[in-house]
Amino acid sequence: QFWSPSSINKNKAMVENLQNHGIVTSDEVAKAMEVVDRGVFVPDRSSAYVDSPMSVGYNVTISAPHMHAMCLQLLEKHLKPGMRVLDVGSGTGYLTACFAVMVGSEGRAIGVEHIPELVASSVKNIEASAASPLLKEGSLAVHAGDGRQGWAEFAPYDAIHVGAAAPEIPEALIDQLKPGGRLVIPVGNIFQDLQVVDKNSDGSVSIKSETSVRYVPLTSREAQLRGD
C-alpha cells in the first residue's frame, strides 16, 4: 500500500497547483508527479506538499516542488519510455523516482549521491513509492559516489539532472551525455544560474541559462558535512 487517501489528494492538489501556475505543462510530467507521492520522500509529511525546500539533514535540502517540476519539464523530451537518465545528488530519491516512472521499465534511471545514509534512506523512500517495482526490476538504482564523475556504467545518457550547484560544469557529465541529450545543472557559487546544456549531433554543446536559482553546493562529502 503506497498512499493513504488524504496524501493522494494533497499530492494531486500540489500537481494541479503547479499546472495552474503554468509550471507543469506536460501530461507525462503531471502523471509522474501524481503517482510518485512526495509525502513518502520528506521527513515531515505534514508539510510535504508546501512549495518550499525542506531540510533532510547532512546540510542539504529536498528542493521545492516547483523546482522539481521545472527540471522535469526542461528534461521532458529526454525522458521518453526506454531512455536513460542520470540524477546527480539524488538526495531523497524523489526526482530519481519521477524520472524512473517516466522512462519506464525499458529505460534506466540512475541516482548518484555521496552521503551513504541518504542513499539508504532514499532506497526506503522509493520502496514506499509507486517507483518500487522499477527498483526491484533494476531499471532504477541509486549508488553512493561522487556525482561529479557521473556514472560511467550506463553512459551515455539521454538526460542528466544535477541537484546541487557546481562552480563549473563537470567535464565527465558532458562526456556522458548522448548526442541529442540534455543536461540540466545549477552553476555558480552565491549567484547561480540553472543552465541547460544540449549536446549536438556533432558532439559540440549549446548552453543557455534558464533562470536564477539557489541550490546547495555540488562539493566533496567532507566540505558538505563541515558546512563550508
C-beta separation of 62 from 56 below 8 A? yes
Does residue 52 sit in helix, strand or coil? coil
Nearest to ligand SAH of 152, 179 (CB atom) = 152
Closer to ligand SAH by Cβ: residue 114 or 201: 114
Closest to ligand SAH by CB, 181 or 186 = 186
Task: Write down the least CB distance from residue 198 to ligand SAH, Å.
Answer: 21
Q: Which is nearer to ligand SAH, 153 or 203 (CB)?
A: 153
CB of 200 to ligand SAH, least distance (A): 27
Residue whose CB is nearest to ligand SAH in the complex, by number = 89
Nearest CB to ligand SAH, comparing residues 118 and 187: 118
Binding site for ligand SAH (CB under 6 A): 58, 60-63, 88-92, 94-95, 112-115, 118, 146-148, 163-164, 216, 218-219, 224
Active site residue 90: no
**Residues near 8 by beta carbon (within 8 Å), at least 6 away in sequence:** 37
Cβ-proximal residues to 31 (8 Å cutoff; 6+ apart), any chain: 101
Cα gap 158→178, rounded to integer Å = 6
Strand extents, DSSP E, the chain: 54-55, 61-62, 84-88, 108-113, 140-144, 157-162, 177-188, 192-199, 205-213
Compute the least distance from the CB of residue 96 to ligand SAH, in Å. Answer: 8
Per DSSP, the three-state class of 197 is: strand
Handedness of CA 199, 107, 29, 51 (dihedral sign): negative
User: What is the distance of C-alpha 208 from the center of its chain?
Assistant: 19
Nearest-approach distance from CB 113 to ligand SAH, in angstroms = 5
46, 63, 90, 204: which is the annotated catalytic residue?
Answer: 63
- Output DSSP code: residue 107: S
Shortest Å distance, C-beta 64 to ligand SAH: 9
Residue of 121, 126, 124, 120 lying closest to 139 (CA atoms): 126
Taking the CB of residue 155, how many other CB atoms lie within 10 A of it? 17
**Cβ atoms within 10 Å of 189's Cβ, excluding its own:** 9
Catalytic amino acids? 63
